[in-house]
Structure 1
Amino acid sequence: MIKILHLSDIHMGSSFSHGRINPETGINSRLEDFIYTLSCCIDQAINTPVDLVLFGGDAFPDATPPPYVQEAFASQFRRLVDADIPTVLLVGNHDQHSQGNGGASLCIYRTLGVPKFIVGDQLDTHCIETQSGKIQVITLPWLTHSTLLTRPETEGLSVAEVNELLIERLQPALEGEIRRLDPDLPTVLLAHLMADRANLGAERFLAVGKGFTIPVSLLIRPEWEYVALGHVHKHQNLNPNNDPPIVYPGSIERVDFSEEKEQKGYVLVEVEKDTVHWEFHPVPARDFCTIEVDVTEREDPQAVILNAIQKRAIQDAVVRLIYKLRSEQLDLIETGALQGALQTAHSFTIRPELVSQLARPRLPELAVNRSLNPLDALQAYLDNREDLRDISEAMLEAAHSLLNS
């Protein structure tokens, strides 16, 4: 049996807004969280030991991460080189330039000739020699319209029509790789994609306007024993019949509050020809905690909010406190006391929401002395506009699309 560790969507260098600077290291605490959970995965790979590591893409938030973030990522994967464990790094949508060409953040590993490291930046088949025998890995990186189609071919077509045309181009390309396979060796498809049956999380916004959706039926083939996916941050198996398993391991650390209730981790796989066994393993990701309180009908709103905080396990968690109140109750809330009650949290935000339409809500996160990126600012604004709730999701998607264009 060949043992494989399958992980994906590290996004090292993201979620800094939920952290703080560690005075001892000068590093954002959220980067330290991501380094820690990645180290847990690498520890498992080395201690098992596994024969192969498959990374499903999205190493960083974008294709040009700061050098110190790249170094943190490389220092962990270097341990696999030292342990003589072959590794495949697949290119995801965040690893590409904004134009969708190349895997800028990962191609350095190929340029430097890192031993036993393969960068999957194109559809290709790799025969890998492991300690337990040979295995074939088909790499399918994140595909954009420009990858398979020219601009004239897509002019005048709807999004659905372009998606259909892309699938028509991808099918024979995959078939070509399948025909090259050695039928006596086990095979894994390693792909970074949005499958049509996937339950989505933060990535529904992170990839707006890019790539396309691939039907799960295209991934169910008898020629491969396991389908290792990346891109969707929620762990799931899209083919419960396991013929073959089609598995998203999910991200290894929470990116934002949309992933608050999701377990984070990696997958251990044992595979040989016509046989596969896989198991999800959680990692100790940082807890996120949302406390929502409606005090509009309460005589002592401050006490109610403080009591709600005391009932939750907020120690070392990333916390957001959301409370609804009437405009005439504003003077009954002492923000300093709320901040004091949240001091045991790793970090926190306080978001009051006014139910009255006669007064504008006081939003601490939008104060002039706060630094927010445009999307967080828009989210905070929409969260306090009841009259825009019906179109808030569409507005967020449009904003993501504009910022990523």
Structure 2
Amino acid sequence: MERLDFSEEEDDKGFYLVEIEQDKETGKRQVSFDFHPVTGRRFLTINIGIEPQDTDPTAMVLRAISEQEDKVRDAIVRLNISLPAQCEGQLRDSDIRNAVKEAHYFTVAKDIQRETRSRLGEWTAEEITPLDALKAYLESKKVSLERTKVLLQYAERLIQEQRTRQG
């Protein structure tokens, strides 16, 4: 009896021996059961959190693996590594694979935190006018002042035409 997935990682594996006998005097059934544990292949999850200030992300992962070293052998191991995007390239996959080589099987799941970029500055989409949004976009793309001026004039005309049609 083997575990099927990591949701069973903490479950005891085994079977129940159930005996049902009929009482000769009363005719009622007598039920007894006994759990017999079996040793199944171990599942092991190792969670590792790496922070932006960590100078050697691979060393952090290797340290977490070494703390569980006695449980890794012949287990199915899942490494959950949470790390900032700027640290992803610093992970040495070959060193990590070597550290879990005694496992029956292993997988690495990386949860990469990426910073969200605000393109509107201090405005929200509801607060900004179409012209201000265009101006912010053109500034972010480093469009020349002359070209920005021309594009904003065209945008103003289009907005006025749209208002006139709806009006």
Bin the TM-score by the shorter chain. Answer: 0.5 to 0.7
**Counterpart among 55, 62, 81 of residue 299 in structure 1:** 55
For residue 318 of structure 1, what is the aligned residue in structure 2? Answer: 76
Secondary structure of 1:344's counterpart equals coil
**2:88 is aligned with 1:330:** yes
- Structure 2 CA distance, aligned partners of 1:330 and 1:301? 8
Output the amino acid matched with 1:325: L
**What runs of 5+ residues in structure 2 fail to find an aligned partner?**
23-28, 118-167
For residue 281 of structure 1, what is the aligned residue in structure 2? Answer: 36
Output the amino acid matched with 2:72: I
CA contact (8 A) 2:88 2:112 kept: no
Secondary structure of 1:285's counterpart equals coil
Name the one with the larger helix percent.
2
**2:14 is aligned with 1:265:** yes
- Kindly state the Cα deviation for residue 355 of structure 1 after the two structures are TM-superposed: 1.4
Output the amino acid matched with 2:97: Q
Percent of aligned pairs with the same amino acid: 36
**What runs of 5+ residues in structure 1 fail to find an aligned partner?**
1-251, 360-405
**CA-to-aligned-CA distance 1:223-254 (integer Å, 9 cap, x gap):** xxxxxxxxxxxxxxxxxxxxxxxxxxxxx321
For residue 256 of structure 1, what is the aligned residue in structure 2? Answer: 5
- Structure 1 CA distance, aligned partners of 2:102 and 2:116? 35
TM-score (normalizing by structure 2): 0.60
- Kindly state the Cα deviation for residue 323 of structure 1 after the two structures are TM-superposed: 0.6
- Kindly state the Cα deviation for residue 271 of structure 1 after the two structures are TM-superposed: 2.2
Output the amino acid matched with 1:347: Y
- Structure 1 CA distance, aligned partners of 2:116 and 2:38? 47
- Structure 1 CA distance, aligned partners of 2:115 and 2:15? 46
**Counterpart among 67, 82, 99 of residue 341 in structure 1:** 99
Secondary structure of 1:270's counterpart equals strand
**CA-to-aligned-CA distance 1:38-66 (integer Å, 9 cap, x gap):** xxxxxxxxxxxxxxxxxxxxxxxxxxxxx
- Structure 2 CA distance, aligned partners of 1:264 and 1:253? 8
Larger radius of gyration: 2
TM-score (normalizing by structure 1): 0.26
Please give the root-mean-square deviation of Cα atoms over the aligned residues, in Å: 1.7
Question: How many residues align structurally?
Answer: 108
Secondary structure of 1:269's counterpart equals strand
Output the amino acid matched with 1:258: S
Secondary structure of 2:72's counterpart equals coil
Output the amino acid matched with 1:266: F
**CA-to-aligned-CA distance 1:129-185 (integer Å, 9 cap, x gap):** xxxxxxxxxxxxxxxxxxxxxxxxxxxxxxxxxxxxxxxxxxxxxxxxxxxxxxxxx
- Structure 2 CA distance, aligned partners of 1:295 and 1:328? 11
- Structure 2 CA distance, aligned partners of 1:320 and 1:257? 9
Identify if the C-alpha distance between structure 1 residues 339 and 358 changes in structure 2 by more than 3 Å, giving closer, same or farther: farther
